[in-house]
Amino acid sequence: MQADVSPTGPPLVELRGISKRYGELLANDGIDLRIEPGEIHALLGENGAGKSTLVKILYGVIEPTAGEILWEGRPVSIASPVEARALGIGMVFQHFSLFDELTVAENIAVALSSDWSLATVRSRLGDISRAYGLALEPDRAVWTLSAGERQRIEIVRCLLQNPRLLILDEPTSVLTPQEAEHLFVTLDKLSADGCSILYISHKLEEVRRLCRRATILRGGRVVGAIDPRERSAREIAALMVGNEVGEVRTGTAHAPKGEMLRVTNLTLPPAGLHGQALHGIDLVAHAGEIVGIAGVAGNGQSELFAALSGERPTESADTIAIDGRPCGTAGVDARRRLGAAFVPEERLGHAAAPTHRLSENTLISHAAAEVSRSGFILVNAARRLAGAIVKSFDVRTPEGDPQARKLSGGNLQKFVIGREIIRRPRLLIVDQPTWGVDAGAARLIRQALVDLAREGSAVVVISQDLDELFEVADRMAVIHHGRLSALRPISEWTKEAVGLEMLGVSQSQGAAHAV
């Protein structure tokens, strides 16, 4: 149960008129925000709305251009994360900052002051784990842990420093439904014990479940302060993006046509020390359908994508066939020539070259006569193509042809997916298509994937977002420890069943547990 947050004194923290300017860009524009003791407060907004800038100011990573921060009614200056932690502010970032080779206790100890011995860490870890249901084995190596267990380390590491305000950035992005529900129970306990929580998420139903107040940013400004329990997820999304966010129009899936992708007994050893091996994977995707692959991060998704895209060829050509033509030993370019297109998970550095302009980034998938000739870039043609992608996929850019690194995450994701879809590929394989993007961008991307499939292409979507897969997929399977479950029609799955498979519990086992 969340603590009673009816104001009886000064708020725990109050931001007044916070602004941050980067040259001509005003990332935060006069933001006011109050967080009461013991409340779980949501900070919402589309990509580029200013959320990251604001929490970095609160956590001492960057300094504001204007405005002030009050802690229990007293003005404070937070010049670094060390000062933030000393004040009582802890933060769990979206990307984990753990050392795979170290144990749980060692990972916690390295983040604490030298006053903490390993024995003390082990003892206190046990206390915190029991108090908040965050089960951890102190001597387990981190590389052996699931994503949910790794997140517990990050949270416990913060809790050992007795925070009074905990900032969580997209905390459920890599969790199964069961792990997410466990996290919510923990957060309710923290709130009841008086710890305030600033909760950042694009998953609006969990915001409605957890939070009594939400501050909404758009374009660096506060555009709303609401009780999310009194609004639908669609109403909240509309406030975030400034207009109605419609549902994805899935239409009626046609009867499966010819095979565009067949994977037969795909078995690969780990690519690195802590990589995931693939074991006997069989997969078929037909023209006109979307096949979804669910799973918790680190269970072989990246390895599967590398094998399907040709980044990691197999020993036998027959292991993978595109449009009936064996290509397991072929590389990425050869598979593109067969009509395939690929969007990797990491958009900046893998899907796009950060310091190259958008027009130059079109060459990653369009190295054909339309944008290059005899080894030379056709600059005007590349610019026209980039412009067409920007227009068709509502990519918002700070200038006409910016470097890829200057786009927000959501806008860059729209560009790299648009760059592939605009080719009208016969097979598209995309890894985490809407990871970390806002509701408006997610809706646009998902609609583009559905439209491509309904036009007759085969689409394979690898995703940790179950809401996404249930919205767009026609058939779905779950990958766990490098093994793929049977593909089933989406109507035969429930979120609970998928969650159990993601944890390595089959549906038959799940039924046994229920009994």
* Collapsed DSSP state (helix, strand, coil) of residue 467: helix
| 351 & 486 share domain | yes
Tell which residue, 151, 116, 113, has the closest CA to residue 132.
Answer: 151
Scan for tokens 């998704």, then name that residue.
301
Which of 177, 212, 241 is at the close of a domain? 241
| 42 & 160 share domain | yes
| 186 & 272 share domain | no
Dump pLDDT digits (tens) for 276-335: 899 999 999 999 999 999 998 788 999 999 999 999 999 999 999 999 999 999 999 999
The β-bridge relationship of strands 376-377 and 259-268 is: unpaired
| 475 & 350 share domain | yes
| 194 & 271 share domain | no
Kindly state the percentage of the chain with pLDDT values over 70. Answer: 94
Which tokens sit at 463? Answer: 């995703």
> What CATH number is attached to the domain comprising 374?
3.40.50.300
Average pLDDT of the residues in 154-167:
89
pLDDT grade for 509, boundaries at 50, 70 and 90 = very low
Assigned domain for 198 exists: yes
Assigned domain for 247 exists: no
User: What is the pLDDT at residue 4?
Assistant: 55
Q: How far apart are CA 464 and CA 312, in angstroms?
A: 22
Inter-residue contact 450 to 248 (CB < 8 Å): yes
Inter-residue contact 142 to 150 (CB < 8 Å): yes
| 18 & 163 share domain | yes
At how many degrees (to 10) do helices 118-132 and 177-192 cross?
Answer: 100
Dump pLDDT digits (tens) for 326-381: 999 999 999 999 999 999 998 888 999 999 999 999 988 866 657 877 777 788 99
What Å distances lie between residue 314 and 117, 299, 327, 329, 458, CA to CA? 48, 19, 9, 5, 22
Average pLDDT of the residues in 13-19:
97
| 147 & 292 share domain | no
Dump pLDDT digits (tens) for 93-105: 877 788 888 999 9
Assigned domain for 2 exists: no
Assigned domain for 403 exists: yes
Scan for tokens 């999310």, then name that residue.
228
pLDDT surpasses 60 at 507: no
User: What is the pLDDT at residue 512?
Assistant: 37
Please report the beta strands in 46-182, taking only residues with DSSP state E, as ranges in sequence order: 66-71, 74-76, 89-92, 165-169
For the chain, give the mean pLDDT: 88
| 507 & 441 share domain | yes
Assigned domain for 246 exists: no
Which of 241, 267, 294 is at the close of a domain? 241
User: What is the pLDDT at residue 348?
Assistant: 86
pLDDT grade for 478, boundaries at 50, 70 and 90 = very high
| 297 & 392 share domain | yes
The β-bridge relationship of strands 213-218 and 40-45 is: parallel
Q: How far apart are CA 262 and CA 162, in angstroms?
A: 53
Assigned domain for 8 exists: no
| 236 & 269 share domain | no
Element holding 304 (H helix, E strand): helix 301-309
Assigned domain for 19 exists: yes
Structural domain range at position 491: 259-514
Average pLDDT of the residues in 269-277:
84
Number of domains in the chain: 2
Instruction: Considering only residues 111 and 120, tell me which one the structure prediction assigns the higher pLDDT.
Output: 120
Q: How far apart are CA 403 and CA 422, in angstroms?
A: 20
Which of 241, 267, 282 is at the close of a domain? 241
DSSP secondary structure, 311-322, as one string: SS--S-GGGEEE
Which tokens sit at 206? Answer: 């969990």
| 181 & 276 share domain | no
| 455 & 318 share domain | yes
Assigned domain for 4 exists: no
Dump pLDDT digits (tens) for 169-183: 888 877 778 788 888
Dump pLDDT digits (tens) for 20-58: 998 888 999 999 999 999 999 999 998 778 898 999 999
pLDDT surpasses 70 at 495: yes
User: What is the pLDDT at residue 455?
Assistant: 93
